[in-house]
Structure 1
Amino acid sequence: MSKEKLSDEEKGILEQFIIPFYHIEKKLQLFPGNKSKEAEAALLGISLDELETYRCNLEENAKQAALELLKEEEVIDLIDKLPFDGEETIVAFGDSITEDDQSWFSILRNLLEISFEKPAFNFINSGVSYNTTSEALRRMDRDVLIHNPDWVFVALGTFDVQRLNIASDRTLIPLSETWENLNTISLILDDQVENPTLWMTPSPVISELLDSNPLYEFSIEAQDLEQVRQLVSGKTGGIVDPKGLRMGEGEPKAWNYLSDGLHHSLSGHVNTVREVLRTLAEVKIKS
């Protein structure tokens, strides 16, 4: 661990934008020490105890969010309609909005483990921060298919439409390539996974917050994101939030985001879980 004490500003950035979204076992898969929490803490410049405390707090946030959801009558009704028996392997294939330690997937995991008697689910969080569809496709075999999943959520596309500050006249990934990547992912999952793919549309961003955040060297424009949302909404399977309204009707609401206007707050993730449950309750199982 670094002996240099972090400033309050550095601690704030670490807590909000780094620790929840970075897990070295995902970033450095070929390194023998990638599962070492001591090494991870050292890279972050904190002690192992501090890292474990941060992670435990985030997990507790997700658990408490699940418990609050279970107070909602609609949620209880939806759980009764879920196509699960409690022994499924469920993979979330996404970017940083999925990798987040208190993400929608963490809340969903807690919700289902609380709700099912003697649950034996296997939840695999295959979110990797800032992944484009091209990067995700490249790792699909080792991060998704190797687990022989019963269900797969695909939550990708947001970072395809980055416009880098040094090249703002184009998106990082052309829309045609995003279409090809999503189509390839769809074909692979249709062939190798028994149940329908569950597609999550990218949610809006609050551009003025993103643009003013010095951590990021890119912008995201609403019209670019809408084009990707339309591609995802046109897929077969279950579509989570096809109109992209889960962060607020009309304009997305700031309280559903972190201060970057890009990643979701706990309330934003809770909104996503509600939409996930609604989609799962209605999805048509392959015959």
Structure 2
Amino acid sequence: MINTRVYTDDERRHFLRYTRTDRWPLLGRFPIGADRHTGLLAGMLSCPPGLIDELSASLDDELRAAAAELLSDDAYRRAVRSLPYRPGERVVAVGDSITADRLGWFELLAASLELDGEPRPTLVNLSVSGNTTADVIERFDLLEAAEPSRVLLMLGTNDARSHGRTSRFRMATAAETERNLRALAGLITEDLGAEVTMITPTAVDQVRVDRAFADAPVHWDAAEIAELADVVRAVDPAAIDLHARTRTARPGNLEDDGVHPTVAGQRFILTCVLARLVEPAGSFGSDSGALPVLG
């Protein structure tokens, strides 16, 4: 069936922001050329392939401009250069749409390292929108193929996702999420010999979620997200606790759907992650630390 829906360029750009078909498990195992990915996206969004290239380039330009702006702050540049990652290491991010975001915290960090020009590790983003902890276990072969030395693991938001208009079946119980996270920790550290850093899911805004998804058969509950943040802390007491830092929403840090961070919100997430990576026992719990509060 051919998609005949008409999209605006803003809708197409939003879709591209969170969708990277080259990270889809099937296409990761059976790769296709870049032009075919472009054609696939063009077919999905009912537009010429040239528009996909144009919109993707605009996102790349926005990312690089944001990274350059961040690097103009001396404290941020020092923090980036103080990361405990050696040149030649492979740092892999695994998560859902919040990390898959082309304007997201991990992409901002990767762009910052590239623009800074210093010898740097290789950063690889394997995040896929919509992924649950079980999905990541299923595609563990692709994580293995990336040959990580360190893994940043941020999952849980979609484990708490529920489907159905009345029954609202949750994708995973807290016990299932805990089992999956412990399994992933073991697979990463034992099978791959890599170091894993767990990150809690960010908080959601229940009022915005209820409004945005009022007529949709999908939903999130703020209390269930908080429950899974507790699970991450139980599995890894040293986890980076983004949930605690995002529980009180900052103006402009969340999209209208109440789930996804805005670009300002992604900058704030990067501040929190970077501060903990640079100073594991430092001033993470305070906005008055060495790093500027971004967003």
Q: TM-score range by the shorter chain?
A: 0.7 to 0.9
Q: Distance in 2 between matches of 1:264 and 1:112?
A: 22
Partner of residue 277, structure 1: 274
**2:223 counterpart letter in structure 1:** Q
Post-superposition Cα deviations, 1:72-116, rounded to whole Å, max 9, x if no partner, equal 343233234211223221111111111111111110101111224
- Asked if residue 265 in structure 1 is aligned to residue 262 in structure 2, the reply is yes
Of 210-219 and 254-263, more deviation after overlay is shown by 210-219
Partner of residue 12, structure 1: 10
Structure 1 residues 167 and 148, CA, compared in 2 at 3 Å: closer, same or farther?
A: farther
Structure 1 residues 3 and 192, CA, compared in 2 at 3 Å: closer, same or farther?
A: closer
Partner of residue 253, structure 2: 256
Of 23-32 and 39-48, more deviation after overlay is shown by 23-32
Of 259-268 and 167-176, more deviation after overlay is shown by 167-176
Residue 169 of structure 1 and its aligned partner are, at CA, apart by 5.4
Q: Distance in 2 between matches of 1:201 and 1:42?
A: 35
Q: Distance in 1 between matches of 2:7 and 2:79?
A: 45
Residue 170 of structure 1 and its aligned partner are, at CA, apart by 4.8
Report the identity percentage.
23
Q: Distance in 1 between matches of 2:92 and 2:171?
A: 26
Q: Distance in 1 between matches of 2:201 and 2:236?
A: 16
Residue 34 of structure 1 and its aligned partner are, at CA, apart by 6.7
Residues 60-209 of structure 1: pairs in structure 2 closer than 5 A = 60-119=61-120, 121-142=121-142, 144-168=143-167, 170-209=169-208
Q: Does structure 2 conserve the Cα–Cα contact (< 8 Å) formed by 1:90 and 1:152?
A: yes
Structure 1-normalised TM-score? 0.85
Q: Does structure 2 conserve the Cα–Cα contact (< 8 Å) formed by 1:211 and 1:218?
A: no
Residue 31 of structure 1 and its aligned partner are, at CA, apart by 5.8
Q: Distance in 2 between matches of 1:91 and 1:238?
A: 18
Structure 1 residues 127 and 135, CA, compared in 2 at 3 Å: closer, same or farther?
A: same
Q: Distance in 2 between matches of 1:194 and 1:116?
A: 29
Q: Does structure 2 conserve the Cα–Cα contact (< 8 Å) formed by 1:197 and 1:237?
A: no
Structure 1 residue runs without a partner (length 5+): none
Aligned length: 275
Structure 2-normalised TM-score? 0.83
Q: Does structure 2 conserve the Cα–Cα contact (< 8 Å) formed by 1:131 and 1:159?
A: yes
- Aligned to 1:91, the other structure's residue is in SS state strand
Of 207-216 and 43-52, more deviation after overlay is shown by 207-216
Structure 2 residue runs without a partner (length 5+): 282-295
Q: Distance in 1 between matches of 2:136 and 2:3?
A: 36
Q: Distance in 2 between matches of 1:20 and 1:175?
A: 29
- Aligned to 2:239, the other structure's residue is in SS state strand
Q: Distance in 1 between matches of 2:3 and 2:184?
A: 45
RMSD over aligned Cα atoms: 2.6
Structure 1 residues 166 and 108, CA, compared in 2 at 3 Å: closer, same or farther?
A: same
Partner of residue 48, structure 2: 47
Q: Does structure 2 conserve the Cα–Cα contact (< 8 Å) formed by 1:69 and 1:75?
A: yes
Q: Does structure 2 conserve the Cα–Cα contact (< 8 Å) formed by 1:66 and 1:107?
A: yes
Post-superposition Cα deviations, 1:228-247, rounded to whole Å, max 9, x if no partner, equal 1112123448522x152444
Q: Does structure 2 conserve the Cα–Cα contact (< 8 Å) formed by 1:65 and 1:270?
A: no
